[in-house]
Amino acid sequence: MKILETPLKDLVIIEPNVYKDDRGYFMESYKHSALESYSGDFHIIQENESFSKKGALRGLHYQAPPFAQAKLVRCIQGTVLDVCVDIRKGSPTYMKSFSAILSEDNKHQLFVPKGFAHGFITLSDTALFSYKVDAPYSPSSEGGIRWNDPMLNIDWKLSKDEFIISEKDGVLPLVNDWMSPFE
């Protein structure tokens, strides 16, 4: 398992060793000791899964303290563009974004620390996406920033007429009308 640093502080890509033969493949999708120096006290307490159609854009979401979540995310089937924004005030990469293709072919994962807004868009016809998290979901701690904020200037790789966006995500605040809950 290779851990690849990204330009955003503490956000890493996990590239698993995949062992293929004529039966299929085997891989370790998570190994605490390999990720520990990046993830600290990350202990998975829940795994969530979403199924999305092409153009489905989910995000940019976070859980505010004290229910902040670190996530280990991957695309099990299909292909997504995964996007993370550092929303930790005082971080050297505050309000910077990073995106990566996660797919069933490359089997890459992202470790998303607490203090990042996260989202993805489905690039394939459908996608099955997994989120391993270290804290339970708390509706009162749910937050987000708008996916199309001009300050973030995120390239979502599809034309806007292909986007499928929930009503809730469509009205998330713009960065200039929002305050990060992460110090």
Which residues does the annotation mark as catalytic?
61, 131
- Does residue 123 sit in helix, strand or coil? coil
DSSP 160: G
Distance from C-alpha of 119 to C-alpha of 104, rounded to nearest angstrom = 18
Give the number of other Cβ atoms within 10 Å of residue 139's Cβ.
7
Buried b (16+ CB within 10 A) or exposed e, 156-165: beeeeeebeb
Residue 36 phi, psi (nearest 5): -55, -40
Single out the residue of 69, 94, 98 nearest to residue 81, CA to CA: 98
Q: Which residue has the tokens 């062992």?
A: 19
